[in-house]
Chains A and B, each alone.
Chain A
Amino acid sequence: MSPLVEVRDLCKHFPVGAGATVFAVEGVSLEVGQGETLAVVGESGCGKSTLAHTMIRLHDPTSGQVVLDGVDISTLGNRALREHRRKMQIIFQDPFASLDPRRPVGRAVAEPLHIHGMATGSEADDLVADLFVKVGLEANMMRQYPHQFSGGQRQRVCIARALATNPQLVIADEAVSALDVSIQAQVINLMMGLQAELGLSYLFISHDLAVVERMSHRVAVMYLGQIVEIGPRRAIFENPQHSYTQRLLDAVPIADPRARRDRPLLTDEIPSPVWPAGTSPERVVMREVVPGHLVAEEA
């Protein structure tokens, strides 16, 4: 079966003055299967959010392709793009910033239905009510305003809005990072339940490796705009091959005081992704460890 989404050699570069360029995403290739969660992990500035935004065409790619359900959407015009965007929705980190404070939340959830001509009037209201129930809210909450909700409830509203168009792929860009840990766990359980129920695929952008280990099928590790390791979750967590993957995993605090580790007092940091005029980063070369588990060659 062909994957739902195929990203081929995707690049997104931003000019930053004086001829310099940020190579935010550089030659990324990946696939997301039907009903699968692919997590993209990495630290600030590694390009994981830019990758997500470029895939959904919030940025136009510098080069490369994004094939969704057999169609290359990377070069589609606005009208054609809209039709395909219905299949692909995004949830952001801060649900408060994603909702209009002056409108009842039900209208935010109904908006995609209107935009895509899927339903209007009482028919839309019924669909919104169903969506509220699906994400664990009460149907009558659709008449309330964002400030009347807790952070976790607001993120449930954003999930309901993302599901309104019956998408096949939902991109979650640090969607649980701003939530308190008990609420985070509830929202993750909700997302996993919805995946089982609806056969959704997730592209799960996160800096939190412990959360990723819980909910993903496959994991891609990004470093300075490029994927340095990608494979099944167990391969990445139980048999990490790249030194950066190992370093990330070693840095995660473990919630067990008996497992406390002595850490070397390092001070090194990730280099800048800005390249002066006329220079560019070297592309990594991937090697297959076992089928499906790829790692960048290291010098």
Chain B
Amino acid sequence: MEPLLSVRGLTVTFGSFTAVEDVSFDIHAGQTLAVVGESGSGKSVTALSIMRLVELGTRGKIEGGEILFRTPDGDLIDLVQQSEDAMRVIRGNQISMIFQEPLTSLNPVYSVGDQVAEAVILHQGLDRDAANERVLEMFRLVRIPEAEKRMAQFPHEMSGGMRQRVMIAMALSCDPKVLIADEPTTALDVTIQAQILGLMRDLREQTGAAVLIITHDMGVVAEVADDVVVMNRARVVERGSATQIFESAAEPYTKALLASVPRLGSMAGRDEPAPFDLVEYQS
């Protein structure tokens, strides 16, 4: 199957520092690709590059590579070559993104319903009433209880989990082909994380969107990913299906990373606590 989005040889620099070097991967419709790595591995910069947000404000520079995207019209375009005006049509409409901390992504002085409606009006040209209808539909889709009442609430009146649902509703409101989620559950409690991961999996099946999830959490990867790209120090060190990565990782870095992941149930039957059996990894 032809990929929906294909990153080829992406290299991103900040001054003399190379944050992403020669990174390639494909994302397919209806599939979830996880890019996993530790702090500073380049995973978030990769995501921001696809949205072409890395050059805005942060002085990042896409030095090389292509980001090929199949538009809904069937054209194959290189996002790296698009103008800012062209990107503005693509962002939020065809490719949308959710971030780690929903509170900083929402405007504190507008109701959440108005903020999602604004995205719909901007991208889809609906009038206010039609936009509100769409918002209500989206809030129900992401299972916000009492959706109509919640639309009038402000971000500070909602819990972290509800705010992240609002962000997902906003991101999906224009039927994007690709959803990029950068650590979408990292700031959430574990029971709420389970709810949001379940929701994301469900929505991917319903909408057929491709999902790119950026995470440091191997547990989250195991829960949602079809395919996995492991990054370390700006480069892809290993790629494969989720089961391949977890059961037969070949690269020393991946093995070391997996050895340090605490796994619930790994201590069953043992009375005393036990240290991790760490795998030495020298880069």
Residue among B193, B218, B223 making CB contact with A260, cutoff 8 Å: B223
- Among A1-9, A163-171, A182-190, A285-293, the one that faces the other chain is A182-190
Complex-state Cα separation, A195 to B234, whole angstroms: 37
Q: Which range contains the number of A residues in contact with the other chain?
A: 35 or more
Assess the B263–A185 pair: CB atoms within 8 A: no
Task: Give residues 146-183 of A contacting B (CB, 8 Å).
Answer: 151, 180-182
Q: In the complex where A188-B275, A213-B267, A237-B268 touch, is A255 in contact with B194 (Cβ < 8 A)?
A: no
Complex-state Cα separation, A213 to B198, whole angstroms: 24
Contacts of B269 in A (CB 8 A): 234
Residue among B189, B199, B246 making CB contact with A265, cutoff 8 Å: B199
- Among B14-22, B120-128, B252-260, the one that faces the other chain is B252-260
Determine how close the nearest CB of chain A comes to the CB of B209; give it in whole angstroms: 18
Question: Most chain-A CB neighbours within 10 Å: which of B39, B256, B272?
Answer: B39
Residue among B225, B258, B263 making CB contact with A254, cutoff 8 Å: B263
Assess the B198–A189 pair: CB atoms within 8 A: no
Task: Give residues 195-232 of A contacting B (CB, 8 Å).
Answer: 207-211, 213-217
Task: Say whether B273 faces chain A, with CB atoms less than 8 Å apart.
Answer: yes
Contacts of A250 in B (CB 8 A): 194
Task: Say whether A259 faces chain B, with CB atoms less than 8 Å apart.
Answer: yes
Assess the B198–A258 pair: CB atoms within 8 A: no
- Write the chain A residue with the least CB distance to B272: A217
Assess the B275–A267 pair: CB atoms within 8 A: no
- Write the chain B residue with the least CB distance to A150: B39
Task: Give residues 248-276 of A contacting B (CB, 8 Å).
Answer: 248-260, 263-267, 269-270
Determine how close the nearest CB of chain A comes to the CB of B167; give it in whole angstroms: 15
Task: Say whether B262 faces chain A, with CB atoms less than 8 Å apart.
Answer: yes
Complex-state Cα separation, A193 to B144, whole angstroms: 46
Residue among B160, B190, B261, B268 making CB contact with A209, cutoff 8 Å: B190
Assess the A263–B276 pair: CB atoms within 8 A: no
Q: In the complex where A181-B38, A210-B264, A238-B268 touch, is A253 in contact with B273 (Cβ < 8 A)?
A: no
Contacts of B266 in A (CB 8 A): 210, 213-214
Contacts of B10 in A (CB 8 A): none
Assess the A251–B194 pair: CB atoms within 8 A: yes
- Write the chain B residue with the least CB distance to A44: B189
Complex-state Cα separation, A158 to B264, whole angstroms: 27
Q: In the complex where A37-B273, A257-B225, A265-B198 touch, is A181 in contact with B263 (Cβ < 8 A)?
A: no
Contacts of B144 in A (CB 8 A): 267
Contacts of B260 in A (CB 8 A): 181-182, 184-186
Task: Say whether B82 faces chain A, with CB atoms less than 8 Å apart.
Answer: no
Task: Say whether A31 faces chain B, with CB atoms less than 8 Å apart.
Answer: no
Task: Say whether B74 faces chain A, with CB atoms less than 8 Å apart.
Answer: no
Task: Say whether B47 faces chain A, with CB atoms less than 8 Å apart.
Answer: no
Contacts of A259 in B (CB 8 A): 222
Assess the A253–B198 pair: CB atoms within 8 A: no
Determine how close the nearest CB of chain A comes to the CB of B84; give it in whole angstroms: 34
Complex-state Cα separation, A215 to B264, whole angstroms: 12
Contacts of B162 in A (CB 8 A): 269
Contacts of A257 in B (CB 8 A): 222-223, 225, 242-243, 246
Assess the A255–B246 pair: CB atoms within 8 A: yes
Assess the A181–B273 pair: CB atoms within 8 A: no
